[in-house]
Amino acid sequence: MVWPATLIGVAAGFALASIPGALLGGLLGHVLDRRLRLDSWSALRAHMRGSSAIEPQDLLFVLLGRLAKSDGRVQEAHIQQARSEMKRMGLDEAGTRRAIAAFQRGKAGGDNLQPCLRRLRDERPAAERLLRSCWQMAAADGRIGPHERKLILQWGHWLGFAASRVEALGAGYDTPRGLPSKPGNSYKDALTLLGVTADCEPAVIKRAYRRLLSQNHPDKLAGSGASPAVVRAATDRTRELHSAYNLIRERHGFR
């Protein structure tokens, strides 16, 4: 005989109601430990809240993932910027895997970030570094969109900063340099910057872009002992390459 789902639910409810409280608590605790791998009710609450379970070392990459996805599509420039942050932090293999997972979590956008950021209000130097990294991610594709700016300003507010201070931390990232302002010449100059022609295959353009990024990577130059001026120039060059590549990619219609 097949019992209807409603009757099964009612029977289960009566069965649970007949179990003494202490025993029921023990049974639920066993389920929590075996199924969710949680060892306390506070851990369960953190698990259900989601956002409060973000560990401090994961927060940066959750934010970067949220920014990268804010305009609808994560671009190669965003991924390169995330990798730059991982290298800057000197993450080992396990740390890199964890950062990638946090970045993916940020892309999903399911976390309430407000409580996580409010906990950093008394750590202003760390909070400022966090916001600078966010501005760098927002500018990675050559421009800072309105959604990205709105997110960073909101996060800065939760961190306890005035909007003017948040904007100041992003100074220099908003306007990419290196490409001319004349729209008629920008595409041609972008091709010249990457060393490709208009009839090149997308694979050729991608290889040229990645090769130039590797040659001008500020982290690589800083690690080799280059002067601060050289590193700054490489940072500007990298931004120019991002802008040029995005312009060509959009014109040719490939990802």
DSSP 120: T
The DSSP secondary structure of 138-193, one letter per residue, reads HTTTSS--HHHHHHHHHHHHHTT--HHHHHHHTTTTSS--SS-S-HHHHHHHHHHH
Indicate whether 15 belongs to any domain.
no
Indicate whether 149 belongs to any domain.
yes
What is the tens place of the pLDDT at every residue in 11-56? 444 444 454 554 445 544 544 444 444 444 444 444 444 444 788 8
Indicate whether 106 belongs to any domain.
yes
Question: Which CATH number do you get for residue 213?
Answer: 1.10.287
The total domain count for the chain is: 3
**Final residue before a domain boundary, out of 143, 169, 195:** 169
The pLDDT assigned to 234 comes to 79
What is the tens place of the pLDDT at every residue in 237-253? 888 888 888 888 888 88
Same domain for 144 and 74? yes
Indicate whether 114 belongs to any domain.
yes
Indicate whether 18 belongs to any domain.
no
Q: How far apart are the first and last CA of the chain?
A: 57
Same domain for 233 and 149? no
The pLDDT assigned to 172 comes to 65
Contacts for 173 with CB less than 8 Å, ≥ 6 apart = 135, 136, 138, 139, 144
What's the pTM?
Answer: 0.54
Domain containing residue 46: 25-53
pLDDT at 61 over 90: yes
